[in-house]
Amino acid sequence: MKPIISAAELAAELRGARPPVLLDVRYQLGGPHGRPDYDAGHLPGAVFVDLDAELASPPGVHGRHPLPDAEAFGAVMRRAGVSADTPVVAYDAAQGWGAARVWWLLRWTGHRQVRVLDGGLAAWNGPLETRAPAPAEGDFTPVPGALPLLTADTAARLARSGVLLDARAAERYRGEAEPIDPVAGHIPGARSAPTTQNVDDQGYFLPPEQLASRFQSLGAEEAGGEIGVYCGSGVSGAHQAIALELAGFTPALYAGSWSEWTQDPSRPVAIGPERG
């Protein structure tokens, strides 16, 4: 299944016999919280999902957004009405990072029918509602492992033997600025590939052929196509994973990302524009 869906396609599916479960994952790094925006207006039937509280474990040695406990994540999804055989569409305000996080988690835990609304809520031309729904309990049971996942050690090896893409802003990769994490720079051998370059000025994903050309220029077909991605805390990296899938690749995600990498002072840090 294609990982994204247009607003027009979503409107048609909502009128069909098997309408998707809608997840509102409005999220902004550093706030404000997305719930007030959800309460002010959301897609009809959409359930709000809190990225910080429900799509991650508490911050710690595994980074700012460690993967959530699988059982806890499954309970959140079931309360939202997610079942194993029902399609799911996630959206956020426009950037796509929050929606990508739940897309990746659902895919990683075995759900096969999940997509992200391309362009986010800004692309939607239909009605909104303010009432929070009370969906029937779903039956989704997460089984982690359906997508490849990197640890700090395997990410370091991939940076040497394959292709590891850094999805953060280029200045953070180069070590010129680090507004969030305690150490600036990047994993040695990683290649700078800002997530923002996967979308156009309105936040829509670039066509697959353009994305394929971009990732090929970054070496995505080297080392037998073994490719991974990381970011600051595993959120924007999930968005990059969607772009890579659209381009025809199957990336591995280093979910702990830079915020986990820098928790261990023994891990090496590279700075500057060059690999190494």
Q: Which residues are catalytic?
A: 231
- Residue identified by tokens 């699988």 is 70
Would you give per-residue pLDDT tens digits along the chain (276 residues)? 999 999 999 999 999 999 999 999 999 888 889 999 999 999 999 999 999 999 999 999 999 999 999 999 999 999 999 999 999 999 999 789 999 999 999 999 999 999 999 999 999 999 999 999 999 999 999 999 999 999 999 999 999 999 999 999 999 999 999 999 999 999 999 999 999 999 999 999 999 999 999 999 999 988 677 899 999 999 999 999 999 999 999 999 999 999 999 999 999 999 998 654
DSSP run (H or E) holding 245? helix 236-246
- Domain segments of the chain: what residues? 4-123, 149-261
Q: Where do the DSSP E strands lie in the chain?
A: 4-5, 21-24, 47-48, 88-91, 114-117, 149-150, 163-166, 191-192, 227-230, 252-254
Q: Cα 219 vs. chain centroid, distance in angstroms?
A: 22
The second-level CATH assignment, the architecture, of 149-261 is 3-Layer(aba) Sandwich (3.40)
Contacts 24+ apart (CB under 8 A), 126-131: 126/7, 126/11, 126/43, 126/44, 127/44, 128/41, 128/42, 128/43, 128/44, 129/41, 129/42, 129/43, 129/44, 129/45, 130/39, 130/40, 130/41, 130/42
pLDDT tens digits for range 158-170: 999 999 999 999 9
Rounded Cα–Cα distance for residues 259 and 207 (Å): 31
Does the domain at 4-123 match CATH 3.40.250.10? Answer given as: yes
Q: What is the CA radius of gyration of the chain?
A: 18
CB-CB contact of 49 with 24 (8 Å): yes
